[in-house]
């Protein structure tokens, strides 16, 4: 499968701080790829380099076949970006704002269709300054996708969304991915990464410390299960056998029985520990 993004040996230093320390990364065309990491891990710097907003010290970077350090206008038209914070034209209406940005692109989506996709049809005639924080965030997303991008960067896209709005946004992303858009998602919501991402990378200490599907990241699929009952618990590779043994011991139902495996959050927290290799 063709890669939309290829990174080899990426480095970036700010004074005495090594923000990115030899990072390698491949993101396939058409996949949803989540980049996770704590503040200061090098995640934001890496993404800003990919977007063409920040220079690198060394390494090779290709985004849609172009070095983002030397972007062209045509390349810019193929990339959509939803920043974590955005300055909007607060006095324009939602429809005016989206139509204005659509004029920057050679083959934009229909602005009214984009407004509908982000759930703002009822607010299309409202000035942006009159919207709630979550609604303004949807405007940001609309501006990111109106140009029909092949590649979409989403930086903390659901900040300020209520649970219903988050679920609607997830459906939007799933639709874009189904249409073939490559999506790079940075988020602090582990459930969001698990729901949307085909693959996940964890960045810590300026490097990728683990990469895989949400189900296999960091050996999650092979991790021991914890079987807990009313007066005990055990970690085991064979939870079904353990439950059967407990059932025989208790003569049927096991009081207080639960069987759990590590969550994506459990694995993530382990991977970003300072002591982790």
Do 211 and 200 touch, CB atoms closer than 8 A? yes
The domains of the chain, with CATH numbers, are: 3-216 (3.40.50.300), 219-271 (no CATH)
CA angle 84/130/189 to nearest 5° reads 30
Quick count: other Cβ atoms within 10 Å of Cβ 240?
11
CA distance 191 to 247: 33
As a whole number of Å, the CA-based R_g of the chain is: 22
Cα–Cα distance between 150 and 168 in angstroms, integer?
A: 21
- Give yes or no for residue 71 having a pLDDT over 90: yes
- Residue 220 DSSP label: G
Average pLDDT over residues 202-230: 91
Q: For 141-166, what is each residue's pLDDT tens digit?
A: 899 999 999 999 998 888 777 788 78
- Sign for the CA dihedral angle at 59, 65, 68, 72 comes to positive
Res 187 pLDDT > 80: yes
Contact yes or no for 181/149 (Cβ under 8 A): yes
**What is the maximal distance between C-alpha atoms in the chain?**
72
Instruction: Enumerate residues 6+ apart whose C-beta is below 8 A from 195.
Output: 170
CB 171 within 8 A of CB 158: no
Average pLDDT, the chain: 91
Residues in a beta bridge with 155? 186
pLDDT band at 125 (very low <50, low <70, confident <90, very high): very high
Residue-wise pLDDT for 3-35, tens only, equals 999 999 999 999 999 999 999 999 999 999 999
pTM of the model: 0.85
pLDDT > 70 fraction of the chain, expressed in percent and rounded: 96
Residue 35 β-bridge partners: 186, 201
Other CB atoms within 10 Å distance of the CB of residue 251: 7
């Amino acid at each position: 499968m063709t890669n939309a993004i290829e990174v080899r040996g990426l480095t970036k230093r700010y004074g005495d701080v090594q923000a990115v320390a030899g990072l390698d990364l491949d993101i396939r065309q058409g996949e949803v790829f989540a980049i996770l990491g704590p503040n200061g891990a090098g995640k934001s710097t890496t993404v800003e380099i990919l977007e063409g907003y920040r220079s690198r010290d060394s390494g090779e970077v290709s985004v849609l076949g172009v070095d983002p350090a030397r972007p062209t206008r045509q390349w810019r038209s193929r990339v959509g970006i939803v920043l974590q914070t955005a300055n909007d034209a607060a006095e324009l209406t939602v429809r005016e704002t989206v139509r204005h940005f659509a004029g920057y692109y050679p083959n934009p989506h229909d602005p009214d269709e984009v407004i509908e996709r982000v759930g703002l049809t009822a607010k299309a005639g409202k000035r942006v300054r009159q919207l709630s924080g979550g609604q303004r965030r949807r405007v940001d997303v609309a501006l990111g996708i109106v140009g029909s991008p092949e590649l979409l960067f989403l930086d903390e896209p659901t900040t300020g969304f209520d649970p219903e709005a988050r679920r609607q946004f997830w459906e939007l992303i799933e639709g874009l991915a189904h249409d073939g858009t490559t999506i790079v998602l940075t988020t602090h919501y582990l459930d969001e990464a698990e729901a949307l991402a085909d693959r996940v990378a964890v960045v810590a200490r300026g490097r990728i410390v683990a990469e895989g599907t949400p189900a296999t990241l960091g050996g999650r699929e092979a991790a021991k299960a914890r079987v807990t009952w009313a007066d005990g618990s055990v970690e085991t590779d064979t939870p079904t056998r353990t439950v059967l043994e407990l059932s025989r011991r208790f003569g049927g139902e096991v009081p207080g029985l639960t069987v759990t495996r590590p969550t994506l959050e459990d694995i993530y927290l382990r991977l970003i520990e300072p002591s982790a290799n």
